[in-house]
Amino acid sequence: MTEHYDEHYVRSVTALGDTHEVVTSQAIFARNNIKLVEKGVRVNSALRDRLVQHKLVPNLEQCLTVEGGVTQAELRDRARQVLDTEPHFQLIRAALPGVERLLRAFYAMLLLPPLAFKLTVAREQRPEIFGHSVQMALISLYLGIKSRLPDHELSTIAAAAMFHDLGTLHIDPELLRPGRLLPDEERRHLYAHPVTAYLILQKYPQYHPEVSTPVFEHHERLDGSGYPRGLKGDEISFNGQILMLAEVVTTLFEQSWQTHGASRLAVVLKMNQRKLNRQLIDHLVVLLRGGQSADTGSQEAVSAEAVVAQLDQLAEAFRCWDGAYRKCRVDTPSLAGAPLIEFVNRRVTELERALLETGFHPDELAALTAGIEDDAIALAELRLMARESRWQLVEIMHEVRRRWQELAGNDAAGRQIVEDWLARSEGILQG
């Protein structure tokens, strides 16, 4: 991958030109040296088809200026607005002696004109990406301050958080629509977005590697289950570990705070202590205590029958793999050590261990509802645990498919065992 100015990004840029004055600061050329647009020309949707048909040089944002583009002062003011108006960010306010140091990091971050242009495209054409990045930067900076990082490091974290999703500007927005189920081919586009952002930032020495590296790492996990490279442990930079956790927290704030308050996030943090930095998690656990005590009537109504059904599905999926693995060891012992078989077994065992560490035994999940049928809070917590466990099991399946070529090799028998488990487990979880 070298250039990423695909149809989706060009559409966003030219649509921006329909509402803002976007002008070429230098001529735009095709890769074959044909001049496509002269210097000083306004760019809008009328030029879309011409630009989409070519690989462009220089980088598109290096050729354009925009009226009213994003500035550090605007980022600082937007962050202040979030702190002032979003109830869940009141927790950050309460946990810090003041927010001025946090806000100064936005103003101090390096914002070169080409990157300011890309953030302007996000603000105007993909506001969900821009808003998500501001909120993630706030959480990342909170974790940085609690980790006693110096001010210059905070400005680096602010930049990394603001730029971490630049790669999604090059993805079809339809693939990011909430609730859309992605087949494997489309999911590969999603997995590529940290690499895309990294390659964009790598072109600028001012951002590489201090900013580009944590951007690349923000979907990795300490146990090696993340993407794009499956890094683990100390292979991931500390700032990358901050972004990893901040991404999880921001997404849950956006998706479930109104329904579940701090409760779902508390469950997620409890079940992901092997995937995320535990010291950073501790900073959030302290933060969330106030949120959990403030959770009131926002919980959804929960029936014991629905919880039992979810727990039964989860337990059956675990039994499905356990049976396949035991049969493999008895009938074909040589297969038990095959990379693909051992990989799946390690991931499923790790999830079972995470459940045990939170007080739940995978073989006795449904029995946990006995005696608490009328306890709405306990049922709600069980359902959240079941949802997170189900999500993690589905992520294991995605990881298996993502790493299939690397792990499966020419082992046809092992591939068939895992394919059968994937099909059966997907049927169970969708049932």
pLDDT over 70 for what percent of the chain?
A: 91
Burial class (CB in 10 A: 0-12, 13-18, 19+), 337: exposed
Q: For residue range 181-234, list pLDDT tens digits in order.
A: 888 888 898 999 999 999 999 999 999 999 999 999 999 999 999 999 999 999
**Greater pLDDT, 144 or 383:** 144
Examine the pLDDT at 6 and tell me if it is beyond 90: no
Cα–Cα distance for residue pair 338/9, rounded to 1 Å: 42
Cβ-contact 21, 69 below 8 angstroms: no
More confident residue, 261 or 150: 150
- pLDDT tier at 5 (50, 70, 90 boundaries)? very low
**Domain range annotation of the chain:** 7-66, 72-294, 304-430
Residue in the structure block whose two tokens are 């079940």 = 271
Q: How far does the chain reach from its first CA to its final CA, in angstroms?
A: 39
* 3 state DSSP class of 57: strand
- Cis amide bond preceding 194, omega within 30: no
3-state secondary structure of 186: helix
Q: Span 300-315, mean pLDDT?
A: 79
Q: How far is CA 177 from the centre of its chain?
A: 14
Residue 366 has what pLDDT?
Answer: 58
Angle at 392 between CA 389 and CA 396, to 5 degrees: 135
Q: What is the pLDDT of residue 302?
A: 67
User: What is the band of 1 on the pLDDT scale with cuts at 50, 70, 90?
Assistant: very low
Confidence (pLDDT) at 153: 98
pLDDT tens-place string over residues 121-169: 999 999 999 999 999 999 999 999 999 999 999 999 999 999 999 999 9
What is the four-CA torsion angle of 391, 397, 400, 403, rounded to 10 degrees?
A: -60
**Does residue 426 surpass a pLDDT of 90?**
yes
Res. 4: pLDDT tops 60: no
Tokens 């297969």 locate to: 335
CATH number of the domain at 72-294, please?
1.10.3210.10
What is the overall mean pLDDT for the chain? 89
Q: What are the residues whose beta carbons fall under 8 Å from the beta carbon of 126, sequence distance 6 or more?
A: 12, 168, 169, 173
User: In the numeric block, which tokens belong to residue 379?
Assistant: 């049922």
Q: Token pair for residue 89?
A: 């960010």
pTM of the entire predicted model: 0.90
Region 327-333 average pLDDT? 83
pLDDT surpasses 90 at 412: no
| ∠ Cα 244 250 255 (to 5°) | 130
Instruction: Specify whether the CB–CB gap between 389 and 366 falls below 8 A.
Output: no
Are the beta carbons of 328 and 336 closer than 8 angstroms? yes
Side chain identity at residue 110, one-letter code:
L
- So what's the pLDDT on residue 297? 44
Decide: helix, strand or coil at residue 232. strand
> Can you name the residues that pair with 223 across neighbouring β-strands?
232
List Cβ neighbours of 75 (8 Å cut-off, separation of 6 or more): 106, 107, 109, 111, 134, 137, 158, 162
Would you state the structure tokens that stand for residue 141, as one six-digit string? 């900076």
Q: CA 165, CA 118: separation in Å to the nearest integer?
A: 11
pLDDT greater than 80 at residue 294: no
- Interatomic CA distance for residues 85 and 101, integer angstroms: 19
The 10s digit of each residue's pLDDT in 346-377 is 999 999 888 888 777 666 665 555 555 666 77
Q: How far apart are CA 304 and CA 382, in angstroms?
A: 10
Share of the chain above pLDDT 90, in %: 65
